[in-house]
Each structure stands twice: as C-alpha cells, then as structure tokens.
A and B are shown apart, each in its own frame.
Chain A
C-alpha cells in the first residue's frame, strides 16, 4: 500500500518536474499495476512479517558509503534547474528545435521516443515481452477441468456479493477502454502513447476479471490470444523497421515510409505506438492472469487436498 502511495507521490513529483508523460506512466504503473501485483503476490504468500534483518550494520555501512559517494558526486553537478547544464546544450536542443520540421509531432517526448531513440523503445517493448514470457514460463499452469469447475463455483459464490460494484464496473469498462484508445492515438499531441494506453487497457480487463472471475475473463480473452497479440506487437514494431530497411533507409528510418518524410515519420510513430500498446496491454494481461491463475490453482489444490 505504501508503495502505491509512493508511486502516486512520485508521479505528482514528475508533473512538477514538467515530465507529464513520465508522470502518466508512473501513475499507471507505479500506483496501479505494480501495487496490484504486489498485493496479489502478498496474498499468495503470507502477510506476516517475521523477518529478521540480518547483518543490518553491514548493510548500513554499504548503504552509507554508497550514499556518501553519490552525494560527493552531486557536488560538482550543475544546479538543479539551471538551463546551461550540459544536458541542455548538447544534444537536446536539436530535439526541441528541429523535431517539428523533421518529425512534426507536437509531443517532443513522443518524437524522441518513437523516432530518434526508436531502438531504445524497441528494446523496451522487448523487455516487457521478455517479462511476459518469463512470467508465463514461471507461473503458467496446465489447467485441469475439474479444478476449473470448483473454481467457477467458488467464484460465483464470491461474486454475488459484489452486485452493485459489478454493475458500476460494467458501465465503466467501456469508458476505460475508450479512454485507452484515446490515449493511444493522442500520444502525438499530449501526454500519452502506446505504453500508457496499453496499461489502461489492461487495467480494464483486469478490473473485469477481478469482478467476474478469471475463467469468465479468460473466455473473453484467452491466453493464446494474448500471447499472440503480445508477439504481434513486437512484430509490428520490428516490421516497421524492416519495411523501412527494405525501402532503402536504415532500420527504423521512417522517412522512407512515405513520399513526404514528415508523413512517413507520422506513420511510423503511429505504427510503433500501436505495437507498443498491443504488447504492453497483452503482457500486462498475461502477467495478471497468470498470477491470478496460479493463485486460484493453489487455492483449488488446497481445497482439493482438504
């Protein structure tokens, strides 16, 4: 819970720092998804905390030394907020001054993300994809039908208690999805983009599944499909690069996608954002489903044992 608040706090901090995009992401991730996952994991393991802090002094020394080194390092740093710091005068001006001509996207973050450093973003998508696959490898269970039945029964009894909530959520979900789409395509103009949209989209699905039961949700969005979509996202992203390669440019050189470089950039960014969105959404869903699935599986087994 604390970490959720921490996430929200840092998000608002980012806003104060003029980093709206980052704030948006941190809000959805730090305060949303990761807290959710934490809770899930905690319920699956144990709440009690009877841990002993071993070797606290050693740890403290390490930490203090590291911290002192960092403070020492900051002494020569340019002052906070000063405009003539090296980072503001070397590479960045080009992004700020020229990207309108070169890319034509109002949100500078998006243009840097999608084009100048498209490869980083590509890496990012791959990272999240890796995490998805990793969680899948670790947690996926081969589902046995008799367990499913039990779980269903369990779920039904549970969910009848949340009738009002279910109705509210049912109404809300389409709006959330719509909002996700808006964020997805609005990335060019305001804060937003594929990643945030993906998370929001995933959040909608997760909400749904929390209230209506995992198996219900799985009936709507089944696992192979999400896996396929996750891969599709990466592929979409990658193929944008390949296409530009085939068109005679460098990898991720969107200029060649269209006759007009700016239009080409637009198209490229749009496509990769779509790829990011797809992958992120599906991976989030995969992760959540697997956590939840594992949990219910464990409960089912426990019940079966009793």
Chain B
C-alpha cells in the first residue's frame, strides 16, 4: 500500500518545504520562492494524478491505447500561468517595497511602520 502512494508523499514533503519557507522566512523574495515551490509541488501532485500505468502522453497516435488523463494537464497549464502571474506581481511589489522602505526584511519593515504611525 505504501508503495502505491509514495509519489504523493514526496509531493507533500515538497509542498511543506515550500509552505514552511513562506511562513517562516522574513525575506520577502525568499517567501516568494517558497510560494513558487509550494505551488509547483501542487502542480506535480495534479500531474501525478493524471498518470496511468503504461500510458503515454495524450497525443493521439496510431496503435496507442492508453493515454494519460489530459484534463489535469490542462488545469496545470492554467495553474502555472497563474503561478507565474502571482510571482511576477509579488516581485514587482517587492521591488516597490524595497524602494519605499529600503529593505525587504519583514521585521525591519514592520519596525519602520510602527515608528511612522
């Protein structure tokens, strides 16, 4: 039974690494890196679902009977785009924050905020 699920477990571990970075790191860019890892591992998770033993890529060809499920692939294509969009926006924000605060460390920013208000 464990063998049947090992793939998912690896994914979970990856996910949690990303998630941990997001929560625990103070550096804004590292947080974003964590977020990317987190998201990517979710993608892997979806793709793993789509795999069928003995199947091939879902491109119709002669003599191929078993295909992987194309639907998760589609979803993940979309999700990747969403991911890159989020990352881009997050990075843009980081750049602006750096300009505005002169730092990209969470704690320093909070300190500066508290001192101004």
Contacts and interface: CB of A to CB of B under 8 A. Distances in A.
Please determine if A and B sit in direct contact within the complex, based on CB atoms under 8 angstroms apart.
Answer: yes
B107 to A, nearest CB: 7
Contacts, number: 257
A80 B57 contact: no
Interface residues of A, number: 91
Contacts of A64: 16
A25 B81 CA distance: 9
B89 A135 contact: yes
Interface string A1-31: 0110011001001100111111001100110
Contacts of A6: 37, 40
Contacts of A37: 87-88, 91
A44 B4 contact: no
Interface string B91-117: 111111011000011110000000000
B30 A49 contact: yes
Contacts of B36: 3, 30, 34
A18 B75 contact: no
Nearest to B65: A96
Contact of A46 (B51, B86, B104): B104
Contact of A10 (B13, B19, B40, B77): B40
Interface in A29-78: 29-30, 33-34, 37-38, 40-42, 44-46, 49-56, 58-60, 62-64, 66-67, 70-71, 74-75, 77
A153 interface: no
B24 A19 contact: no
Contact of B98 (A38, A44, A128): A44
Contact of B48 (A52, A71, A80): A80
Contact of A22 (B47, B52, B53, B98): B47
B99 A298 contact: yes
Contact of A41 (B47, B48, B95): B95
Most buried by B among A17, A59, A81, A128: A17
Closest 4 A/B residue pairs (Cβ):
A79-B4, A131-B85, A108-B58, A51-B26
Given A20-B59, A112-B70, A112-B74, 6 more contacts: A17-B48, A54-B24, A80-B4, A82-B52, A109-B70, A139-B92
22 contacts: A10-B43, A14-B44, A22-B76, A25-B80, A29-B80, A29-B81, A30-B36, A54-B24, A59-B20, A59-B23, A66-B16, A67-B13, A67-B16, A82-B4, A85-B49, A87-B72, A96-B67, A112-B73, A121-B78, A124-B77, A138-B96, A291-B95
